[in-house]
Structures are given as C-alpha cells and as structure tokens.
Amino acid sequence: MVVAGACGQPDGETKPRPRAPLGQAKPAASVASSAGTFSAAQYKARLAQLRQLAAAKAPDTEFHYVVQKPFIVIGDERASLVEQRALRTVKWAVDRLKQAYFSRDPKTILSVWLFRDKASYRKHTRALFGDTPDTPYGYYSSSHKALIMNIATGGGTLVHEIVHPFIESNFPTCPSWFNEGLGSLYEQSSSRAGHIVGLTNWRLAGLQRAIRAGKVPSFRTLTATTSNQFYNADPGTNYAQSRYLLYYLQEHKLLRRFYRQFVANAKADPTGYATLQKVLDRSDLAAFKRDWEQYVLGLRFGG
C-alpha cells in the first residue's frame, strides 16, 4: 500500500495552531486518560459528544462514525467509504507508527473528520470549529482534539497529521524540526517488510534546487530552530531538510535508533544535534552535510 496525496503541494504544509475550544464538553474524565488508554464507556461518551456537536452545528449533513481506536473517524461520504478509510489509512498508519515508535496512545480520544471535497471541508470547518483553514488539505487541532481533512486530496496529509498527536503523548518536548520531519516523511509512505517507510515526494525538487544554490542551513542551525523560527522564519527548506535528513536515517537503518536515543537524551540534548552526531558516528556534521547533499541530489521522485 502506498499512501500519498494531500501534502503533495507546497502550500500543503501544516503546523500546530491554537484553536478555540469545542465547547459543551463532557467532564474531562469521560474523554481523557493520562495513560492514553480508554474504556468502552469513554468511547461511547466521546461519540455522543461528537454526534451532539454535528447535530447542533451541521444538522443538514449526514455523517458516518467509525470507532477506529484510538480515534473516532467521522465522514460525510457514504458509510462504506468512511469505514474503508478508517481501516486502510487510519488503522494502517497507526499500527505501523506504533510498531516503529510509539508506546502511548494520545491522551484524549481524538476525532478524525474526513470531508468529501473542498466545499464540504471549508463549510464544515467554519460550522463545526469556527475555523477558516489556511491549508486546502487538512490540519491537526490540539485544542479541538481533532484531525480535520479534505480527504479528496488524498491520504498523505492524514498520515502526516496522525504523527503529531502521537508525538505529543510520547515525546512532549519534541522540537518542531523532528515533529514535522517525521510527519512529512510519512505523507508519502508505503510498507516494507511490514514496516512503514517514507518514500521520495514532491519536497525533493525544491530541496535539490536549494542545495545547488547553497541555501540549505547547517544541521546545527536546523536543529536549533524554535517553533517560531521553524514555521515563520523558514528559509524555504525547513520541512524538506528535516524530511530528507530523516529519510537518509531511514534508508541507512538509523531512524528508529535515533528516535529512541533522542527521546532518552532529550533533557541533556533538547535539539537532537548531539544525538545525531552519535547515531551517525560523525562528529563533523558540516562534512556530513556535504555527503548528505550529494545523496539527496542523487534521489529521484517520479510522481
């Protein structure tokens, strides 16, 4: 299976944004768990919340609901297609991401809203959440406890955004460069020997142009970026540089080791730079960057 789409254009980049609360929430104990595991009663309570929200805010739309743990998937396509997306994209990604990285589920039951097309996506983000999305593809809203998608653009953004709530619960101090790098890695993904792998994607061409122009920052600079710098002072390469650094680690069978050591050493090495040196066994990352750039220039994407 290959998951692609959604993050397939430059303006499809997504980032965490503060959002208004859902309102009329049930008591926190009914929908949240510090352990990230939930009872049937908690799923039932959350499902009732979501049905109530939809009935109040979008009464003219028929939604279908699928409990696909640890999420609840909601869509306005036909029921069989919503069920298929829940199984073939959401479950497929969750199973493999947990196998590779994550021992804890998100700390609350998140909803995954799959809107059939651009018009439905824009209409319902306004009606349900009071949002005017700044991406045509989809985004994750921690405050709304929701992944919100225009699923007509494909499953790539959905897989990308699934990464973020798992990072929140498993690596809460994770810097943006790794959080977005890992999400971006899997926006075009497949399975290799039963494990999730990122494939080359549309971000490659822009990164190759930046490499040739000498405009890609050092890895020390990249890993030291604050969230504000990553998202708002981006020289145009932050997402792609992060993604293809992790792609390199993946292809050299180092990515999972890097993740585990980064999490373990995060207090002493909050940027991940020293951990990167250790995992690569390269003290001089300026020299490594030259080798990495030649590696990236040799990659191809035919999509």
> Domains plus CATH for the chain?
10-170 (3.40.30.160), 178-297 (no CATH)
For range 39-46, the mean pLDDT: 97
Q: Residue 23 pLDDT > 70, yes or no?
A: no
Q: Which one has a higher pLDDT value, 22 or 32?
A: 32
pLDDT (average), residues 82-88: 97
Structure tokens at 128: 């349900």
Describe the crossing of helices 118-129 and 40-57 by its angle, rounded to 10 degrees: 100
pLDDT for 237-265, tens place per residue?
999 999 999 999 999 999 999 999 999 99
CA distance 268 to 271: 9
Element (H, E) at 74: strand 71-75
pLDDT at 30: 37
Average pLDDT of every residue of the chain: 90
CB-count exposure of residue 285 (10 Å: 0-12, 13-18, 19+): middle
Mean pLDDT of 78-97: 98
**pLDDT on residue 29:** 34
Nearest-angstrom CA–CA distance, 5 and 156: 5
Give the whole-angstrom CA distance, residue 185 versus residue 178: 10
Lowest mean pLDDT among 5-19, 154-168, 229-243: 5-19
Average of per-residue pLDDT across 256-275 = 98
pLDDT for residue 31:
43
SS3 295: helix
Work out the average pLDDT over 27-38: 50
pLDDT digits (tens, 9 = 90+) for 138-169: 999 999 999 999 999 999 999 999 999 999 99
pLDDT score for 14: 40
Residue 222 pLDDT > 50: yes
Is it the case that residue 63 has pLDDT exceeding 90?
yes
- Please give the average per-residue pLDDT across 67-78, as a whole number: 98
Write out the two tokens for 111: 């909803």
Residue 118: is its pLDDT beyond 90?
yes
Rounded Cα gap, residues 264 and 95, in angstroms: 23
Sign of the dihedral through C-alpha 105, 165, 160, 131 = positive
Percent with pLDDT over 70 in the chain:
88
Q: What is the pTM of this model?
A: 0.88
The b-or-e profile of 81-112 (16+ CB within 10 A means b, else e) is ebbebbeebbbbbbebbbebbbebbbbbbbbb
Neighbouring C-alpha atoms within 13 Å toward the C-beta of 236? 12
146 in helix, strand or coil?
strand
pLDDT of 5 reads 53
